[in-house]
Structure 1
Amino acid sequence: MVANPSLVLKKIDEIVFENQEAPTITEPTDVIVQVKKTGICGSDIHFYQHGKIGNYILTKPMVLGHESAGVVTEVGPGVKYLRVGDNVAIEPGVPSRFSDAYKSGRYNLCPHMRFAATPSTKDEPNPPGTLCKYFKSPEDFLVKLPDHVSLELGAMVEPLSVGVHACKIGKVKFGDTVAVFGAGPVGLLTAATAKTFGAAKVIIIDVFDNKLQMAKDIGVVTHTFNSKTDGDYNDLIKHFGGQPNVVLECTGADPCVGMGVNICAPGGTFIQVGNAAAPVKFPITQFAMKELTLYGSFRYGFGDYQDAVNIFDANYKNGKDKAPIDFERLITHRFKFDDAIKAYDLVRSGCGAVKCLIDGPE
């Protein structure tokens, strides 16, 4: 048996290291990846603290991690485009190839999706997470990283893809004025996507000045607004110089949803990206009178991972010193695999980490 050191969530409040059996090639298009970098996502912390998110309930142990990049170590005989030694970003959710959602091009909505480090809703083993030494994936759910896109950036392709999908759903385009609620990793990367898509003005709204400063420092916004200290939605509109025609809500928080509808321009678009722990109030009268369009956005779909890699590629094509957006500054904490539990406890403590990365096992 080839050892596969893994980080396992046993139950609420209990994470342990385990040596599991390494995956093997079983299908012609299988690829084995040695995981090198993994980011901690808010969903990981939810399962760690509460053992559930919505219908996904932890009833048996699972390997953590789904924001990862690594190096190809083995390929099946049917693999066409990847070679041993390639650096890749791992798309962590694989749908059923037979579902209507998959065949219609919306595989992120597949009811049979096997998503890394997400408890199974059926009586079957949990899908393995990526916080391990070796991870198996179909070739078409891996994206090769260009030479100047690092493995650390590769681990951020997953959250960036969430922003890419949301901006595509909302049809963000050149010249738009965009408001983003929430300056966490997803909010910052969604704002970066909106800017990359050509938005003329991007404002990000949060209640923490250090997060708003981060948005300024990395170059993803034209404006920031602290909704706790800078005023109400009328003050926000005045500060922004008008009403945004696109609102991307990345918090799921009741006040943000309400403010988002209130500031959105008549005929505008509201995209709900963030998840809420409980039902939220929604200003339906304002929404109707403005004839707003509402979209839900869930994870990412066909082409979003590749587009996220392309955003990194274009951003760094002239070198780090000339990059318009300093994505790497989002990485505020780095840990060795042996300290992975400390990393989870740090993020869980609410210490102000933006993106925490964990090295793969050596």
Structure 2
Amino acid sequence: MAAQNLSFVLEGIHKVKFEDRPIPELKDPHGVLVNVKFTGICGSDVHYWEHGSIGQFVVKDPMVLGHESSGVISKIGSAVTTLKVGDRVAMEPGIPCRRCEPCKAGKYNLCEKMAFAATPPYDGTLAKYYVLPEDFCYKLPENLSLQEGALMEPLGVAVHIVKQASVKPGQSVVVFGAGPVGLLCCAVARAFGASKVIAVDIQKPRLEFAQNYAATATFEPGKVAAEENAARLIAENGLGSGADVVIDASGAEPSVHTGIHVLRTGGTYVQGGMGRSEITFPIMAACTKELNIKGSFRYGSGDYKLAVELVASGKVNVKQLITGVVNFQDAEQAFKEVKAGKGIKTLISGIEA
């Protein structure tokens, strides 16, 4: 008998299984049922698989993994007006309460009761079917594939980071970390008009990819003091008194230090990468240069919509980041390969309806 809703479930550290679950019901008239077609593997998915927790979020009960997905609408609620059965969509995987102060202030990514896919206790999208509100599904233009649609999630993260940085035409931007989000930050910064986009990483293959992808230059830091790396980065790239914008997509403490030192007076620093919960910080440099320092968390109003438009218009290429597609039944092996650092972005194909 064919599985109804085969799902990839995390039971504990390095313990996963395939489980057939009931097809989720549409309880809200504005909801839609999506047949998931492609799901990207994110670092947070791998972290839950490796450690069973991220900060205060601990896997206590079996949880379906995955949150970077695209799919095809297979059923719609009675009040749905913007989508129909058969529409191809990018899936925004966090459902806010819409009632708390952050939600009402237009910052629903900071919702106090956010139900985010594959963040305990909420199940993720690595299943045959998944339910979302219609306004959290973004119809894909004809020139966008479902594989590209699955990358709207990390691109949405990058769009939010670059918007937080208020990147303007002609500015210089330094991006620390050339993983998927860092690479996409480079691409979005270029699309926003940045004239210099310098990718920083300690892995040569990643820097080579970044150079061919969206960075105008790359920098490999040495095992020296942060001030020394910053001075060399500024000199090698003709940044004068320093960069206009620094984005950290690595979460690594040395990157944070170097980033603060590489900025010009009055520059903007955005922390997008998550590393250890507490680090030492060059507070003197941040104060005396009167830096604008911001955090960035997931994505908010308009970010997914802009992500789709950037790819549809050809300003950002996400297809280049897809380095592998595996069958649903090979999901565990895909996790192992991502953990081993293979490829840029691996996708898991879904199960046909």
Give the TM-score, by structure 1 length.
0.93
Instruction: Show structure 1 runs of 5+ residues with no match.
Output: 120-125, 316-323
Q: Which residue of structure 2 lines up, in the alignment, with residue 203 of structure 1?
A: 198
1:32-61 Cα offsets, whole Å, 9 max, x none, are: 110000000000011011111111111111
How many residues align? The count is 346
Q: Which residue of structure 2 lines up, in the alignment, with residue 318 of structure 1?
A: none
Q: Which residue of structure 2 lines up, in the alignment, with residue 28 of structure 1?
A: 29
1:360 and 2:350 equivalent?
yes
How far, CA to CA, are the matches of 2:317 and 2:150 in structure 1? 15
Paired letter, 1:149:
L
How far, CA to CA, are the matches of 1:325 and 1:134 in structure 2? 29
1:221 and 2:222 equivalent?
no
Once the two structures are superposed, the pairs formed by residues 64-103 of structure 1 within 5 Å of their partners are: 64-103=65-104
How far, CA to CA, are the matches of 1:278 and 1:157 in structure 2? 27
Segments of 4+ moved more than 4 angstroms:
none
Instruction: Show structure 2 runs of 5+ residues with no match.
Output: none
Residue 118 of structure 2: SS of its match in structure 1?
Answer: coil
How far, CA to CA, are the matches of 2:230 and 2:67 in structure 1? 36
1:297-337 Cα offsets, whole Å, 9 max, x none, are: 0001011011111111111xxxxxxxx65421211121010
Equivalent residues of 1:2, 1:22 under 8 A apart: no
Equivalent residues of 1:244, 1:265 under 8 A apart: yes
Q: Which residue of structure 2 lines up, in the alignment, with residue 235 of structure 1?
A: 232
The offset of 1:276, in angstroms, is 1.4
Q: Which residue of structure 2 lines up, in the alignment, with residue 174 of structure 1?
A: 169
Residue 313 of structure 2: SS of its match in structure 1?
Answer: helix
**RMSD of aligned Cα (Å):** 1.4
The offset of 1:228, in angstroms, is 3.3
1:66-122 Cα offsets, whole Å, 9 max, x none, are: 000000111111001101111100000001122111111001111100000001xxx
Higher deviation after alignment, 251-260 or 22-31:
22-31
How far, CA to CA, are the matches of 2:268 and 2:173 in structure 1? 10
Residue 85 of structure 2: SS of its match in structure 1?
Answer: coil
How far, CA to CA, are the matches of 2:143 and 2:222 in structure 1? 40
How far, CA to CA, are the matches of 2:131 and 2:290 in structure 1? 46
Higher deviation after alignment, 231-240 or 31-40:
231-240
Q: Which residue of structure 2 lines up, in the alignment, with residue 253 of structure 1?
A: 252
Q: Which residue of structure 1 lines up, in the alignment, with residue 273 of structure 2?
A: 274
1:312 and 2:307 equivalent?
no
1:253-286 Cα offsets, whole Å, 9 max, x none, are: 1100000000001110000000112311110101
Equivalent residues of 2:7, 2:127 under 8 A apart: yes
Equivalent residues of 2:191, 2:316 under 8 A apart: no
The offset of 1:195, in angstroms, is 0.7
Residue 267 of structure 1: SS of its match in structure 2?
Answer: strand
Q: Which residue of structure 1 lines up, in the alignment, with residue 144 of structure 2?
A: 149
How far, CA to CA, are the matches of 2:286 and 2:27 in structure 1? 51
How far, CA to CA, are the matches of 2:157 and 2:82 in structure 1? 25
Residue 3 of structure 1: SS of its match in structure 2?
Answer: coil
187, 192, 197: which one pairs with 2:182? 187
Higher deviation after alignment, 173-182 or 222-231:
222-231
How far, CA to CA, are the matches of 2:319 and 2:138 in structure 1? 19
How far, CA to CA, are the matches of 1:215 and 1:334 in structure 2? 21
Equivalent residues of 1:2, 1:21 under 8 A apart: no
The offset of 1:349, in angstroms, is 2.2
Residue 275 of structure 2: SS of its match in structure 1?
Answer: coil
1:132 and 2:127 equivalent?
yes
How far, CA to CA, are the matches of 2:344 and 2:223 in structure 1? 22
Residue 112 of structure 2: SS of its match in structure 1?
Answer: coil
The offset of 1:2, in angstroms, is 7.5
1:212-249 Cα offsets, whole Å, 9 max, x none, are: 1111222x111101113797211111111112110001
Paired letter, 2:49:
Y
Equivalent residues of 2:7, 2:18 under 8 A apart: yes
Paired letter, 1:281:
T
Q: Which residue of structure 2 lines up, in the alignment, with residue 348 of structure 1?
A: 339
Equivalent residues of 1:253, 1:280 under 8 A apart: no
